A and B are shown apart, each in its own frame.
Chain A
Amino acid sequence: MKPVETLEDVVIRFAGDSGDGMQIVGTQFTQTTARLGNDLATFPDYPAEIRAPSGTVAGVSGFQLHFSSIDISTPGDVPDALIAMNPAALKVNIGDLKPGGVVIVNTEKFVPREFEKAGYAADPLADGGLDKYQLVRVDMGRLTREAVAGLGLTNKDTDRCRNFFALGMTYWLYSRSIETTRDWIEQKFKDPWKQANLRALEAGWSYAETVEVFTSRYQIPAAKLPPGKYRNIVGNHAVALGLAAASARAEVPLFLGSYPITPATDILQYLAAFKAWGVQTFQAEDEIAAIGSAIGASYAGHIGVTTTSGPGMALKTEAIGLAIMTELPLVIVNVQRGGPSTGLPTKTEQSDLWQALVGRNGEAPLCVLAAASPADCFRMAVEAVRIATTYMTPVILLTDGYLANGSEPWRVSELSELPEMKVHFETNPEDYHAYGRDPVTGARPWVRPGTPKMENRIGGLEKQETTGNVSYDAVNHEVMVKARAQKIANIQVPDLEVHGDADGVLFVGWGSTYGAIRTAVDAARARGHRVAHAHLRYMNPLPANTAEVLRSFRRVVVPEMNLGQLSLWLRAQTGVGCISLPKVQGRMFKVSELIEAIALHGLEDAK
């Protein structure tokens, strides 16, 4: 028996060619780990090309998983273990591995032809460059072929089982049973592929058990999560569930108009599968038709939603203005990616904040929300629907590629836990005015076509106050511009909360940087820095106490994945100067980078 070492948390990364099935094994390891009760956070990282030339660094697909017995909120900076299916995967990922970490390489692919494709001059396993790691060499190709022999598979199909061999080994290393994946394979595949994948999985586990390849084995006890029913969820799935739940809560049907775009496409796909719950999806001919159909559905009395990413947002801009002018509820989800233009489709960025806040012609304010974690996408999608229907306004929900594809455990919400949503369709023609306003919210009445005696005309031309008739009157225009702005200012949002020490250095974040900032701030506080974290989910309007919170700190630092869009927005809105900490590499902040920044900005504030 090998010794079993108990760890608090572990970061592993699977890496291979984009056709090697790394996303599948990553997802399987995640499901198994979730079932064991660990806290976890995942981050898949894959190229924009579906199949870049095999063996090249451009084609490397990765999946990182952080799992623990403690509370965690990021997929981790440095992997403890790397599973590299070929030299290119090793080349791309080895620099991130923790010194002393485990690197499992598939030696089948460590041959001169593959070195050349990966851009290695010589065998990287032979030059001593890996001496600081625990190198584990396994000919996964040969062992998989032996395991599936006799099933009559083609060579190509045999090679496709290799990922399950790697998964089996990894399960053994971290003391996980293969059961969850076995069940999944049995449901997912037909013979002979079912048999083959099962054999490869078992062979990988047994190989690790029998052959002396690992010096030790690890276990990670279950985490102490609050009681409840959990499922592991990626951000795009959480958005879809949040929209469907909000529609059920409001008792108003959901309509999605969408056009496929990375990394937002999955939301369309999830919602298209929710038909049994009455969700209607319309794959439009383009981004403009997608939002147009959503506006039409909202006008007809549904919750109209459109989902997209930055370039698609740009195309929808004119139609967003129409929804502002006609004061219809509408939810626009922008899963941000690297820009401008086509940019980095599969990489993450937070550079569409200004686009969301101000990127329209005319005075065109609307509500902008931002989700902080994959599971938080559920809550913020519900909020988007609540605000859109309460205030009769378009709401932009910003997520990003990191949230969209990253996952964490989500405590399943009961419908009764959701905020109350009272949607009222006006049916009383007495004293009805198309642009009459609710005295509290400033919202105009929502009247569905088909309602007798309330026929009215709306459109993109300026409206006369109250009646809604077309008006070119100069003073009326200013009245209406101000009324639309006031309505957005009226939106009630929760106060900004501060986590950490008062009056030292405040780190203000928004969106997906939540986990990294929170982890870094906690680590810095443990080292004696006087530092705090506040995270914005409501970008417009900002929480009422934002200026007060910012002023109460000696220094405000804003880490964000753009060149300082939030710091400028905060300065404009509160008058408080903030220090921007930008990172625009298509990648999330590392906790270590933020800790360094805290050390830099917070030294003088040490306790």
Chain B
Amino acid sequence: MTTEPTAVRTLNRKEFMSSQMIRWCPGCGDYAILAQAQTVFAELGIPRENFCVISGIGCSSRFPYYMETYGFHTIHGRAATIASGVKLANPELSVWIVTGDGDALAIGGNHTGHLLRRNIDVQVLLFNNRIYGLTKGQASPTSEFGKKTKSTPLGTVENPYNTAAFALGCGGTFVARTVDMFTAQMRDILRAAHAHRGTSFVEAYQTCEIFNDGAFVDLTDKASREEACLMLQNGAPMVYAGGKKGIRLEGLRPTIVELGERWSASDCLVHDETDDTLAGILARMERPFPVPMGILHRVQKPTYDALAAAQIAGARLKGKNPPIEDLLGGGDTWTVE
């Protein structure tokens, strides 16, 4: 078993489609994400049996049932804990956590933070629709301040999580953001997430047509998306709006500049995925700034799973693979004749 691309036969997307009927609502953004995941899984060169998809509870967490891989639909908020155990027990597996804004940031917020801090080599796909869908329309930890929902008829009185900033604050080594409609970017990010050694955290904005329709329409609508999105590319200047606008830093504050007469692309901030200060600035860029999309931050750091395995291997080597009898009969013993 290995997760490295080997000479296995090329799989196709259909081989990752399970026989189970998909039960998401028509128009749900989850379909697009599922399709991209199936496509990317097929091209990674990993035997199908080495994928393990683990979810919590919520609409997005039905995901494993639709993937013809090993899958575990666990309990609310705890996917990260079960995935941690799976990866530590078998580091050869390619482990993918599928979760939502409520699952990962409300009931499971504690685990998400600790997973990122430990940098266990798994991928997290967080479907953020800024609403509770499966329970039919209550505010979520990413719902905008003042949002009116069934559980907040007069509007929420709490601030939402900034998901990317949360992930960075927890020590995330790979933090990316995309939206369900950006299929090509999503595939690129899934490939990069798989290649990254450590916890890869991917936030996918996702439309819930039933309970939060249009939440990301400005990001996806043809007319507005060039102004609304800042598509990040490592090493490239931050320009958007079809090259008409760019981002510069004044002190530590980003500013929007018109490109043309006074400023050109070469005056703009250049994206550096390894710069954690920059990552923090990008994560906090909200309206009127364009929303940064793509890989906000990517650094290589030791992973928990590799370090833990090395400790065990080291102890075994040092003890010369001691027999269990040494453990049972060790310590201070005496013999009765």
Whether the pair B336, A280 counts as a contact (CB closer than 8 A) is no
Contact: B49 with A455, CB < 8 Å?
yes
Interfacial chain A residues near B334, Cβ < 8 Å: 34-35, 37, 229-231
Binding site for A on B (CB under 8 A): 1, 18, 20, 47-50, 52, 54, 57, 64-65, 67-75, 78, 80-90, 92-93, 110-111, 113-114, 308, 311-312, 315-316, 318-319, 321-322, 324-325, 327-337
Complex Cα gap A278–B88 (Å): 12
Q: Which residue of A lies closest to B113 (CB)?
A: A285
Cβ–Cβ < 8 Å partners of A232 in chain B: 332
A458 in contact with B73 (CB, 8 Å): yes
Asked if residues A227 and B337 are in contact (CB atoms below 8 Å), the reply is: yes
Q: Which residues does chain A contribute within 8 Å of B316, judged by CB atoms?
A: 275-276, 278
- Residues A299 and B72 in contact, CB atoms below 8 Å apart: yes
- Closest A residue to B332 using CB positions: A31
Chain B residues near A301 (CB, 8 Å)?
89-90
- The answer to whether A285 touches B331 (Cβ under 8 A) is no
Residues of A within 8 A of B312 (CB): 275, 278-280
A377 CB–B CB distance under 8 Å = no
Interchain CB contact (< 8 A) of B111 among A231, A285, A318, A459: A285
Judge whether A95 is part of the interface by a CB distance below 8 angstroms.
no
Are B89 and A296 in contact (CB-based, < 8 A)?
yes
> Which of the four size classes fits the interface of chain A?
35 or more
Q: Please measure, in the bound complex, the distance between the C-alpha atom of A229 and the C-alpha atom of B78, giving whole angstroms.
A: 45
- Least CB distance from B329 to A in Å reads 5
Whether B90 pairs with A457 at a CB distance below 8 angstroms is no
Shortest beta-carbon distance, B235 to chain A, in Å? 36
Considering only CB atoms, which chain B residue lies closest to A447 in the complex?
B70
Pick the contact of A459: B47, B72, B329 (CB < 8 A). B72
Residues on the A chain within 8 Å of B54, using CB? 296
* B86/A299 in contact, CB under 8 A: yes
B78 and A289 within 8 A (CB): yes
CB pair B329–A412 under 8 Å, yes or no, is: yes
* Cβ of A297 under 8 Å from chain B: yes
Q: Hey, which chain B residues are within 8 Å of A295, CB to CB?
A: 74, 82, 85
Docked CA distance A137–B173 (Å): 65
Q: A294 touching B75 by the CB < 8 A rule?
A: no
Question: Can you report 5 A-B residue pairs in the complex whose CB atoms are below 8 A from each other?
Answer: A229-B334, A289-B78, A292-B78, A326-B72, A412-B328
Known contacts A225-B336, A227-B336, A412-B333; is A459 also within 8 Å of B64 by CB? Answer: yes
Interface residues of A in 279-318 (CB under 8 A from B): 279-280, 282, 284-286, 288-302, 304, 318
Nearest residue, chain A, Cβ from B84? A293
Given contacts A293-B81, A318-B75, contact A456 B327 (CB under 8 A): no
- What chain A residues lie within 8 Å of B57 (beta carbons)? 460
Cβ-neighbour of A457 out of B72, B88, B327 (below 8 A): B72
Distance, CA A180 to CA B90, complexed state (A): 44
Q: Residue A333 at the B interface, CB < 8 A?
A: no
> Would A292 and B81 count as touching, CB distance under 8 A?
yes
Inter-chain CA distance A296–B52, complex, in Å, is 11
| Nearest 4 interchain pairs by C-beta | A296-B85, A292-B81, A459-B73, A276-B319
Q: Kindly state the separation between the CA atoms of A227 and B335 in the bound complex, as whole angstroms.
A: 7
Q: Which residues of B contact A415 (CB under 8 A)?
A: 324-325, 328
* Assembly CA distance A282 to B309 (angstroms): 12
A147 at the interface (CB under 8 A from B): no
Choose among A286, A326, A412 the residue with the greatest number of B CB atoms under 10 Å from its CB.
A412
- SS class of chain A's interface: helix, strand, loop or mixed? mixed
Whether the Cβ atoms of B88 and A226 lie closer than 8 Å is no
B73 touches A461 (CB 8 A): yes
Partner of B83, one of A248, A255, A296, A304: A296
Instruction: Give CA–CA (A322, B74) in the complex, Å.
Output: 7
Closest to A289 in B: B81
CB-contact partner of B93 in A37, A248, A449, under 8 A: A449
Q: Is A179 an interface residue (CB 8 A)?
A: no
Cβ–Cβ contact B89 & A255, under 8 A: yes
With contact pairs A276-B316, A296-B84 given, residues A450 and B93 touching in the complex (Cβ less than 8 Å): yes
- Residues of B with C-beta under 8 A to A451: 49
Q: Measured between alpha carbons, how far is A389 from B116 in the docked complex, in Å?
A: 32
Residues on the B chain within 8 Å of A230, using CB = 333-336
CA distance A457 to B70 in the complex (A): 6
Does A245 make an interface contact (CB < 8 A)? yes
A194: interface (CB < 8 Å): no
For window 406-458 of A, CB contacts with B under 8 Å fall at 412-415, 448-458
Chain B CB within 8 A of A493 CB:
no
Pairwise interchain contact A450-B73, C-beta atoms closer than 8 A: no
Nearest residue (CB) in B for A304 is: B85
CB B68 to nearest CB in A, in angstroms, measures 6
Instruction: Decide if A241 is an interface residue (CB 8 Å cutoff).
Output: yes
When the two chains form the complex, which single residue of A275, A285, A297 contacts B110, counting CB atoms closer than 8 Å? A285
Are B52 and A276 in contact, CB atoms less than 8 angstroms apart?
no
A571 vs B64: C-alpha distance in the bound complex, in angstroms?
45
Q: Verify A275–B85 contact, CB threshold 8 A.
A: no
Instruction: Look across to chain A and name the residue whose beta carbon is closest to the beta carbon of B325.
Output: A415
Check B75 against A231 for contact (C-beta < 8 Å). Answer: no
> Is B74 within 8 A of A459, CB to CB?
yes
Is the CB of A470 closer than 8 A to any CB of chain B? Answer: yes
Bound Cα distance from A35 to B322, whole angstroms: 25
A244 within 8 A of B: yes
Q: Which residues of B contact A290 (CB under 8 A)?
A: 81
Query: Which residues of the other chain, B, contact A456 by a CB distance below 8 angstroms?
Result: 70-71
Q: Which of B65, B90, B92: most chain A CB closer than 10 A? A: B90
